[in-house]
Amino acid sequence: MPETARHDVFQAIADPTRRKLLQLLSEKEMPIGALAAHFPISRTAVAKHLAILSDASLISGKKTGREKIYVLHPEPLREVKEWLDYYERFWDNKLSMLKHLVESGEEQSLKETETRKKPNH
Amino acid sequence: MPETARHDVFQAIADPTRRKLLQLLSEKEMPIGALAAHFPISRTAVAKHLAILSDASLISGKKTGREKIYVLHPEPLREVKEWLDYYERFWDNKLSMLKHLVESGEEQSLKETETRKKPNH
DNA sequence: TAATTATGAAACCTTTTGGTTTTATTTTTA
DNA sequence: TAAAAATAAAACCAAAAGGTTTCATAATTA
């Protein structure tokens, strides 16, 4: 695994082993050994999957002593979510409008809460 | 492309060419020739991508005369969305609860689905 | 300090992916 | 009906993906 090419988040989550790694790291940060114990493949193979996830900025590792603890970084998944939002309208005719309102309201609130706390009715 | 193994929706959307194919088909149903015109690769290569998308049940083709018209089937993307919903809470602390309420309500109306706590992949 | 533990790195292997070119087959249409 | 158009199918190819084993290195601990 040359690790030269930049890895895409869509490609990173395409592999079931990598999805399970993300799930494990979402429960608790762990070193590679603890992660590898959950799989039938070798620790080296897990290390390569971690490298791909790291390349997609989905995880990072901090070395403490002789261990390297891996931590989840879910932010890049937002790109996938935004891609999906476009298609959601095609399968969901019911509440898509409400949900889009909620989500656009959320973005608004993220910007607004710094400057304003009360509604401006 | 032996087409023996069943294709996963996560894997199907991993390739940028296939994502663009989905986008084109979301605008208008088209035969393979019209699709291939949007890419620098051969029509045969596009045909293989379409086979993968079809294998993931994301599209289907109906033959009319000498043309085969491809149609988008976005439903399998719901699986990706549900997987993402689990991670959304990690980047969105504000309205995730409201959104989860909206979405669980939606799922309930479509079918009686349990609220899931862990991803199933 | 010597053995153990945890990880990193390199070399290698097989299958899958994403692409090509070539050769049919089936409908239209000139 | 012969030519053109649209697609399908087969054979082939290079590179990437996913795995292995083997060897090396850095911290711990007995």
| A9 Cβ contact partners less than 8 Å away, ≥ 6 residues apart | A56, A57, A58, A76, A77, A79, A80
Q: Which nucleotide is nearest to A48 (CA to C1')?
A: D18
B95:A74 CB<8 A: no
Tens digit of pLDDT for each residue in B17-26? 999 999 999 9
Is nucleic acid strand C under 7 Å from A32's C-beta? yes
Is nucleic acid strand C under 7 Å from A63's C-beta? yes
Residue B114 scores a pLDDT above 50: no
Interface contacts (A, B; CB < 8 Å) = 93
Tens digit of pLDDT for each residue in B56-104? 999 999 999 999 999 999 999 999 999 999 998 887 665 555 655 555 5
Q: Supply the pLDDT for residue A100.
A: 55
Q: Supply the pLDDT for residue B121.
A: 57
Q: What is the CATH number of domain B9-72?
A: 1.10.10.10
Q: Supply the pLDDT for residue B7.
A: 77
Q: Supply the pLDDT for residue B90.
A: 84
Per-residue pLDDT of chain A (121 residues; tens, 9 = 90+): 433 336 799 999 999 999 999 999 999 999 999 999 999 999 999 999 999 999 999 999 999 999 999 999 999 999 999 999 999 888 766 555 565 556 555 544 443 333 333 333 3
Is A71 touching B (CB cutoff 8 A)? Answer: no
Is nucleic acid strand C under 7 Å from B11's C-beta? yes
Separation between Cα atoms, residue B3 and residue B56, nearest integer Å: 11
Tokens 């993300």 belong to residue: A22
Structural domain boundaries in chain A: 9-72, 77-112
A109:B121 CB<8 A: no
Closest CA to A8 of A61, A52, A63: A52
Mean pLDDT of chain B: 82
Q: Cα torsion for B102, A14, B119, A87, to the nearest 10°?
A: 10
Query: What chain A residue is nearest to B15 in terms of C-alpha separation?
Result: A11
Residue B38 scores a pLDDT above 70: yes
Is B11 touching A (CB cutoff 8 A)? Answer: yes
Is A101 touching B (CB cutoff 8 A)? Answer: no
DSSP-derived 3-state class of residue A67 = strand
Tokens 């993220």 belong to residue: A110
